[in-house]
Structure 1
Amino acid sequence: MTRTALTLLTCLWLAVPLHASEFTLTLDDGTDLPVSRYQGDGQRLLVWLPSNHGVLPGHHQQAEYLQAQGVEVWLPDPYAAYFLPNTPSSLDRIPEDLVGRLIDHAREETGKQVYVFGNDRAAPWVLTSLRAWQMEEPRREGLGGVILMSPYLHTGIPEDDRPPEFQPVTRATNLPVYLIQPVLSPQYPLLMPVVDQLGEGGSHVYVRTLPRLRDRFFFRPNTLDAEEAFKPELATELVTAMRMLDGLESRRVAVDIEGAARTATPTRQDRRLEPWRGNPEAPPLELPDLAGTLHDLAGYRGDVVLINFWASWCPPCVHEMPSMQRLEDALGDGPFRILAVNLGEDEDTVVEFLERIQVDFTILMDPDNSALRHWNVLAYPTSFVIDRAGEIRYALFGAIEWMEPEVIKVFEDLMAE
């Protein structure tokens, strides 16, 4: 063995957590799929499928927590198997039969009841793969159900006032589903529509919401205190999910569907102010500021108004706020105002945040998220530009640098009308 080969094998061995073993599963196309296996002494086995972020240390940490509770975990890395980058579009290049092969091999190898976990943008691929597995051999045994966390099941954020559309597989899924949804998430407002869509196909859906937590909290950097404290508790939630799913019949014939089960995975695009293509009439907006003074959008006729929906736990929101302040400073002598609507946080949280990120434009409080619903906000941050006649002229779904020349020109042109 050459020194280079020995060094490579040593590095690969060191990359495997001490509580895991490694094996490769040869797929139908001849690809070798690397799998980290955390053997458990119980009768449940969780196949944990990574999202578009790939396999990260947080996945291995959760596998160890589950292993300590007797659950065996198989953590495959399809991105490494197919030499793919950790991006949403890579999910469209991973064969859907991969999940079925993992389920079958896990059953043959261990005889344990198998459950499948998927989160974020991987959810449509996971559900489509499970449906394909159902169709191969209807009413086969061995799959206890699927656990989804913050499933990204819509086809993208509409750039007008239409409701979101969902991936066809959402309403063509009839397996038992346990849906875990952090509350501090852009997916939270879509929770009940997703449950309704899954119910159309015949799924029995359990729902568990997690207050004070964001998406991907178990592996993301810069976690909130509540997220760090909850990391060891997630395994208990997953064990509870598997126990709940045990009471449901999972041997089901796949639901018929016309056309493709899913469309291409939505990807993040360049963010920019775009002309509004929906109804120009602005929904009502009447909310108090931190001092309790009520602000009514109708009272701002004659001004160009930037309405920004934000939250302190949303990194892009935080990132763009200083440039919003610079924008107001630059345009403040003209008919221009910013109304920044906080999304459901309490006053103490907002005040503490503003002590760190100092801005002096108007902050409005929306404790029951009523404005979020009226304005159909599905992404954080979301911004609308209202002209001097009170109509919506531009919208933005995401964060930008507000002092870019083309952005400033939009406001200057509107103020001149």
Structure 2
Amino acid sequence: MASFFSIHNSMYQPRGIALFVLNLLLACFTPALAAEQSLLLSDGTELSMEVFPAATSEAKANILWIPSEYGVQEKEVQLVKQLSGKLSDRGFSIWLPDFFASWFLPATSENMAEIGHEPIQALIQHILHQGHTPLIIITADKGAVNALRALHSLQMQFAGSQSPLTEIGIVLLNPDLNISTPAPGEAAQYWPVASATNLPVFILQGELSPWRWSLRRLVSALEKSGSNVFTQVLTGVRDRFYFRPDATAMEDKAAAHLPDVLIQAMTLLSPYMGTKRKVAAIEQSIGNTAKSGGHQTDNQLPVYHGKQGKTLKLKDLDDHSRQLMDYRGKVVLLNFWASWCPPCVHEIPSMVRLKQKLDTEPFEILATNLGENPATIRSFLQQHPVNFPVLLDDKGEAVKTWGVAAYPTSYIIDKSGKIRFALFGGFEWDNEAAIRQIRQLLDE
């Protein structure tokens, strides 16, 4: 992957792209007024959208903001307005469609999959017909799947002809290209369109998002068919940080600076736009939805089916080294958590109660913290005291070894060191069914 800071002079820039870069670099803030528009699709649906037009006589570039599975959020609209305010007088128009409202559907992942990529494809074609200008697509989370599918379908449609898709790039905010959340210990599987994509791609990845630790795998998948992929980790933020109702002060600050970060990302992508690209066929066909494993739906602990023999060696808050193998002869609950994760915080009291109930048994809980500094953890534990060791995984090594793809993730390990149960998501650990399963391991 090319150096993050060395891409400006890496290739010849066509005239339209050169102007695009210049206008980005000259961006300043000018208030923009949105216009309500609609696009009649082939199935008769009217796709409604807000368009923040360029404040110049003609658009020099277009930005298509594709909302995620959470729908159009008010804070997201404000963010688009801020971005337009910085770019409209430079000739940038921004398009913000509302797919869920157009289909009268609630905003869910399932409904996003049901709507599919065809409306995005139609909208991209509509925008390109307005004038042959550079187009940047910005989307987040699962919105990345439909966006990449739409672009790939258009690239296939125009393959071997004079394609209007040469001056296109995409910025992905915390993209979730996983077919489903993998069961604990299993590797994530990406939608096939990821490895068939050939575009300039910039990923803005939240440091505290579960997908941060698999970022290298995602980049490798996107690069497979020739995409130029660049990444930036956003310090101290989770996914959806720019519209979360529980946003931290650091996340609010990051959201305020996000328009400038997006402008920088678009500027850095621009030298890679304007190049005709080969298109690879999607290797396999998978339906639009897939089920995940390892998420408990009742009070039972799900049986673990993944790889055995995983190791763990970390220091605790008192700087003592802890190894999982030292707990042979005990049943161990290994929990991966963070203080900024609401489901993690919610389940901690039940873990404390579970430890109390099994206090005389050969049972231990090891709570592995996900990358927070000791001072932050100690401050949290003053408000939420625990009766078990807290381990520090500041470099994410244990997260990668144990295949943690969602927070919290927990494993139950028997006396011989074999993983017997595993799940992700918050859980009431002192419920009768779970305790009965753990006691069965204690009696073995």
TM-score by length of 2: 0.85
Partner of 2:389: 362
Higher RCO structure (Cα 8 Å, ≥6 apart): 2
User: Residues 141-173 of structure 1: CA distance to partner in whole angstroms, max 9, x if unpaired?
Assistant: 254211111111122243364422221111000
Partner of 1:314: 341
1:203 partner letter: S
Among 151, 156, 161, the alignment partner of 1:135 is 156
Q: What number of residue pairs does the alignment pair up?
A: 400
Partner of 1:9: none
Partner of 2:230: 206
Deviation at 1:254, TM superposition (A): 2.6
Residues 191 and 56 of structure 1: CA distance in aligned 2, closer, same or farther (over 3 Å): same
User: Residues 321-353 of structure 1: CA distance to partner in whole angstroms, max 9, x if unpaired?
Assistant: 111111111211211111000111111111111
Q: State whether structure 2 residue 302 is matched by structure 1 residue 274.
A: yes
Among 85, 89, 92, the alignment partner of 1:68 is 85
Partner of 1:57: 74
Q: State whether structure 2 residue 259 is matched by structure 1 residue 226.
A: no
| CA–CA separation in structure 2 for the residues paired with 1:160 and 1:182 | 21
1:252 partner letter: R
- Root-mean-square deviation (CA, aligned residues, Å) is 2.1
Identity between Structure 1 and Structure 2 (%): 36
State how 1:105-254 maps to structure 2 within 5 Å: 105-109=126-130, 112-138=133-159, 139-141=162-164, 143-159=167-183, 161-248=185-272, 249-254=274-279
State how 1:298-313 maps to structure 2 within 5 Å: 298-313=325-340
| CA–CA separation in structure 1 for the residues paired with 2:432 and 2:46 | 50
| CA–CA separation in structure 2 for the residues paired with 1:300 and 1:406 | 24
Q: Could you tell which deviates more after superposition, 154-163 or 166-175?
A: 154-163
User: Residues 153-206 of structure 1: CA distance to partner in whole angstroms, max 9, x if unpaired?
Assistant: 122243364422221111000011111111101110110101001110110111
- Structure 2 residue matching 1:181: 3-state secondary structure: strand
User: Residues 24-54 of structure 1: CA distance to partner in whole angstroms, max 9, x if unpaired?
Assistant: 1111211001101122337332111111111
The runs of 5 or more residues in structure 1 that have no matched partner are 1-16
| CA–CA separation in structure 2 for the residues paired with 1:298 and 1:73 | 56
| CA–CA separation in structure 2 for the residues paired with 1:250 and 1:226 | 38
User: Contact 1:124–1:262 at 8 Å: present in 2 too?
Assistant: no
State how 1:266-415 maps to structure 2 within 5 Å: 270-271=296-297, 273-281=301-309, 283-415=310-442
The runs of 5 or more residues in structure 2 that have no matched partner are 1-30
- Structure 2 residue matching 1:170: 3-state secondary structure: helix
- Structure 1 residue matching 2:51: 3-state secondary structure: strand
User: Contact 1:144–1:242 at 8 Å: present in 2 too?
Assistant: no
Deviation at 1:133, TM superposition (A): 1.6
- Structure 1 residue matching 2:236: 3-state secondary structure: strand
State how 1:75-114 maps to structure 2 within 5 Å: 75-109=96-130, 112-114=133-135
User: Contact 1:175–1:250 at 8 Å: present in 2 too?
Assistant: no
Q: Could you tell which deviates more after superposition, 35-44 or 188-197?
A: 35-44
TM-score by length of 1: 0.90
Deviation at 1:213, TM superposition (A): 0.9
1:259 partner letter: Q
Residues 158 and 63 of structure 1: CA distance in aligned 2, closer, same or farther (over 3 Å): closer
User: Residues 47-75 of structure 1: CA distance to partner in whole angstroms, max 9, x if unpaired?
Assistant: 11111111111210111110111143211
Residues 397 and 77 of structure 1: CA distance in aligned 2, closer, same or farther (over 3 Å): same
1:219 partner letter: F
Residues 120 and 262 of structure 1: CA distance in aligned 2, closer, same or farther (over 3 Å): farther
User: Contact 1:128–1:261 at 8 Å: present in 2 too?
Assistant: no
1:335 partner letter: P
1:93 partner letter: E
Deviation at 1:274, TM superposition (A): 1.1
User: Contact 1:169–1:261 at 8 Å: present in 2 too?
Assistant: no
Residues 100 and 156 of structure 1: CA distance in aligned 2, closer, same or farther (over 3 Å): closer
| CA–CA separation in structure 2 for the residues paired with 1:111 and 1:388 | 66
1:336 partner letter: F
| CA–CA separation in structure 2 for the residues paired with 1:357 and 1:314 | 14
- Structure 1 residue matching 2:176: 3-state secondary structure: coil
Question: Would you identify which runs of 4 or more consecutive aligned residues in structure 1 move more than 6 Å?
Answer: none
Partner of 2:22: none
